[in-house]
Structure 1
Amino acid sequence: MQTIIIRYLESVVDGEGKISHVLVGAESYEGIKEALIPAMPRPKPGKVPHPVFLTKCFADIDHHVWRLENVTAELTDGQPPAVYHVYIKRHDISKEEFLYQTLKKNPATTISKLLRQGTLVEVDYGFVQQTARSTAELKTNKRYMDTLLDAEMHKRRLAVVVKVISKNLIQVAPITSQSAADGDRTIFKLEQDTLDKMPRYKHSGKDSHVICSMLESVSIQRVLPPTSYFKNTTGRNPNYGVALSRGEIRTLKESLVHAVGASDYVPFNEVVLERKSVQERDASIVQLNEQLAAAQAKVDELMAIERMAKRWTEEMGRNFAEEVEFQHDLDREDGLK
């Protein structure tokens, strides 16, 4: 007996702007009490819900990425099967090139040449699903540990590369518009100059915060470059040219130390800065000693001149103090003092 039917309907706009829904495919379950289907996001108060995308390949349609628009459910005469309608719209991915595709196209290019610590990327984490029950109820997928669960990192979002682990795997810290709690040193805010390199984030009107407490290793098949300004235009630069500033990288390292609970240890960059400060002080001391030696040599020379002047004054039968005062008077007349 059929228990669940899932119908996928594409939203199509005609020349007059009218929207119709065309059935593009269906899934039928027999003897199954619940099945996983896409879930509409639950927006937070005052927030716009984020878009949800799904991958689905239908016969005779050369397209596989769709934007979710709505999900409805009903029972026929109050009896199974439960019929679910999933409304979808085509999403253009013609200008998107994921990291694995870039590396495949350019065998001479390695992942380490494209990415380093601090490089900004976008990561397709995927989306939290829900369960469609034979009773036409929509429930959470909390028992399906083989899928993304609520509260886990999800959707496509900006992220910072922390480490290149292998040719197929990188470690990233995700970025969110949510501000950090007071005293949370595992999160830091990106500089506006960094956001200005990417039109979407430059004009969003939102701050962006790096969440070092949610480090994750992701496949390069989830990674693509963010839309940025390059070659006098905007687009996804396959050379991954957007990165944190040096100051932000120092802050990233400090936040990573706090994220792993090692805040009792002095961060390496602080050791480097202290060492540099000591070297600068040592160089200053050397310079001051050289200046002191030069001044001492000048004093020794003047003292020798003074002794010679006293000897000459004595030999000429004159008073040294009076001769010095006479010279001061001459200097004042000549405007030397």
Structure 2
Amino acid sequence: MEVIFTDAENNELGRIKHSEFVETLIPSFRQNTHDMFLKHIFASKPTVKNWLIEDLKIEDSSAIIFLSASDPTSSVVNFAESQNKKIEYYLKPFNVIEVDFGFYNDLWNTDGTIRRNDRAHTGLLSGEMHKRRPCIVLSVRGDCVQVLPLSTKEGLEHDPKCIPITSKSFTRLAPRYREKQSFALLEMIQTVSARRVFPPRNENFKFEHIYNIFRLTGEDKANLKKALAEQYNKDIIFKLDDMERQNESLRQEKQTIFKSRNAIMEEKTALQKELDDLKEFILKFGNDLGAGNSLEEILSYYQN
């Protein structure tokens, strides 16, 4: 058994020969699904490190993997090291990033059968997070990043543990991030090596380490924080609910006070009008009797 790597022009890049093997792992490649990437350095292409799998064919005892050179994107670790900075300088909570979780493998047997890997722990197993996908940063500690994966899988809108992320959070990213509704998978929080973390493709279709512009909107951030609290810390949400109830009670009390104040002000205005009308009547009456031209003169006239 051997695995042969070729480029788009069918030029062989390298091969791995398996002697006395009954089965081996090969990429679980399917046409028209998600992109799959390999990191290999071949002697004939020493400057290319990132490869995109274009096709995979089985011919007799050979698995032929067709590759094309991919964008030479460095991880956040490599970039931070080149700038003499720490990872925390670039990655902040609620940034949008991409994480390469790796890909599923198939078990390829000498009898020609191929099935999904279900026992080789050196590769991903069914149900584990896979492929390169957008994620949301939750925290950074050393060379590890805690992330919340995103998915556009259909049907997630019916799952209360999948939180929709609006397209406004992807306005600075390439259009493909907005083509479908994205959901944050609350039950799939992962801690990954920062070497798996890459910048997303920006609106100019380039990979740039400008993480501060790739972040959730305030609304999405607030919704996600509340959902995380509900999922992982009931005490926090109970306190939040209690605070909201207290706030509502204070709001209603404030409205009652304002209503009472307005009623008092209206009553004061009415009394002032009655007083002004009375003064006007006394002045007119006093003038008609020749008692004076002011309240003091009229009162003095009647007192004498």
1:252 is matched with which residue: 224, 227, 242? 224
Measure the CA separation in 2 of the matches of 1:247 and 1:272. 20
Match of residue 192 from structure 2 = 218
Partner of 1:237: 208
Q: Is the 8 A contact 1:129 1:148 kept in 2?
A: yes
Please say if residues 173 and 216 of structure 1, whose CA atoms lie closer than 8 Å, have aligned partners that are also in contact. yes
Partners of 2:246 and 2:200 in 1: CA distance: 37
Describe the shift of the 1:313–1:93 C-alpha distance in structure 2 as closer, same or farther (beyond 3 A): closer
Q: Which moved more, 1:177-186 or 1:240-249?
A: 177-186
Residues 227, 183 of structure 1: alpha-carbon distance in 2 compared, 3 angstrom cutoff: closer
Q: Check 1:57–1:170 CA distance in 2 against 1; reply closer, same or farther (3 A cut).
A: same
Pick from 181, 184, 191: which aligns with 1:207?
Answer: 181
**CA deviation vs aligned residue, 1:174-215 (integer Å, no higher than 9, x gap):** 11221335642111222232333322325x632222222211
Distance, in Å, in 1 between the alignment partners of 2:146 and 2:111 is: 41
Deviation digits for residues 268-318 of structure 1 (CA, Å, limit 9, x no counterpart): 665665565556555555555554454444344334334545656776799
The residue identity in structure 2 corresponding to 1:72 is I
CA contact (8 A) 2:87 2:143 kept: no
1:66 aligns with 2:37: no
Which of residues 5, 22, 30 is equivalent to 2:11?
22
Q: What is the percent sequence identity of the aligned residues?
A: 16
Q: 1:269 to 1:22 in 2, by over 3 A?
A: farther
Tell me, yes or no, if structure 1 residue 141 matches structure 2 residue 117: yes
Aligned residues: 286
Structure 1 contact 253–267 (Cα < 8 Å) conserved = no
Q: Select which of 110, 114, 125 maps to 2:101.
A: 125
* Change in CA separation of 1:132 and 1:56 when aligned onto 2, cut-off 3 Å: farther
Q: TM-score by structure 2 length?
A: 0.78
Q: Which amino acid aligns with 1:67?
A: L
Secondary structure of 1:30's counterpart equals coil
SS of residue in 2 equivalent to 1:185: coil
* Aligned-partner Cα distance in 1 for 2:8–2:165: 38
**Mapped contact 1:11–1:89 kept (Cα < 8 A):** yes
Match in the other structure for 1:301: 272
Q: Which has the higher helix share?
A: 2
- Specify whether residues 108 and 158 from structure 1 end up closer, same or farther in structure 2 by C-alpha distance, changes over 3 A only: closer
- Do the aligned residues in 1 keep the contact of 2:5 with 2:64 (CA within 8 Å)? yes
Are 1:167 and 2:148 an aligned pair?
Answer: no
Q: Which residue of 2 aligns with 1:103?
A: 80
Match in the other structure for 2:295: none
In structure 1, distance between residues paired with 2:193 and 2:116:
26
In structure 2, relative to structure 1, the CA distance for the partners of 1:165 and 1:192 (3 Å cut) is: closer
CA distance in 2 between counterparts of 1:311 and 1:49 reads 95
How far the C-alpha of 1:52 sits from its partner, in A, is 1.7
SS in 1 for 2:129: coil
Asked if the contact 2:147/2:190 (under 8 Å) is kept, the reply is yes
C-alpha spacing 1:222/1:146, structure 2 compared with 1 (3 Å): same
Aligned to 2:206, what secondary structure does the other structure show?
Answer: strand
Structure 1: how far apart are the matches of 2:102 and 2:241?
A: 38
RMSD: 3.3
Q: Which runs of 5+ in 1 are unaligned?
A: 13-20, 75-82, 319-337
User: Which residue among 114, 117, 121 is the counterpart of 2:90?
Assistant: 114
Aligned residue type for 1:212: L
29-38 or 293-302, larger mean C-alpha shift: 293-302
What is the Cα deviation at residue 226 of structure 1?
Answer: 1.0
Residues 290 and 249 of structure 1: CA distance in aligned 2, closer, same or farther (over 3 Å): same
